[in-house]
Amino acid sequence: MQRLSHEVGLGFDVSEKLGADWMALCEAWIEAESALMTAGGPPLALENRGVPVPPSLIRWSHTRVAKNYEDIDYPTIGIEVAEWWGRIRPEGNERDADILVKKEWCGGGLTGIVLLVMGMKVWGLSLKEEERAAWSQMVREVADVFKLIPSAQVL
């Protein structure tokens, strides 16, 4: 998880550029990821989900599973991640931690919640400062959801 933490944006250069909301998301991810990994279970499928994972994030996950750290091209990552989050964002009672951790996107490892973090990082780094309002709002939303995960009783 340490190597992955640096790759998703906990290094000083990324954290400084993306700001405090980003750091809060990364901290929430670490807690959620730790809880999900402790619970164990098989890796989540990347293909054939009810809400498809953005193709560039599938490629990223496949290269990391294979320990092939090639660079991935993310030309439409902002649109892909925003649309994906819009379709998987938990609403109402889905924000109950025990319901949340049963969602097909909510898992640990290279096929789980780290995909959101990676997508948000790449998207954020591609934006100019004045373009970050929608991104920052989504960062806060994702962090709030991740903060719920460790309290699940079913883990």
Tens place of pLDDT per residue across the chain (155 aa): 656 766 776 667 888 899 999 999 999 999 999 999 998 888 899 999 999 999 999 999 998 888 887 788 899 999 999 999 999 999 998 899 999 999 999 999 999 999 999 999 999 999 998 999 999 999 999 999 999 999 999 87
Tell me which DSSP letter residue 102 carries: T
In angstroms, the CA 67 to CA 63 distance is 6
Tokens for 94, please give them: 């889905």
For the chain, how many structural domains are there in total?
A: 1
What sections of the chain are H helices per DSSP? 2-5, 12-18, 20-39, 55-65, 77-88, 97-100, 114-126, 133-148
- Its pTM stands at 0.90
Structural domain of 135:
2-151
3-class DSSP assignment, residue 31? helix
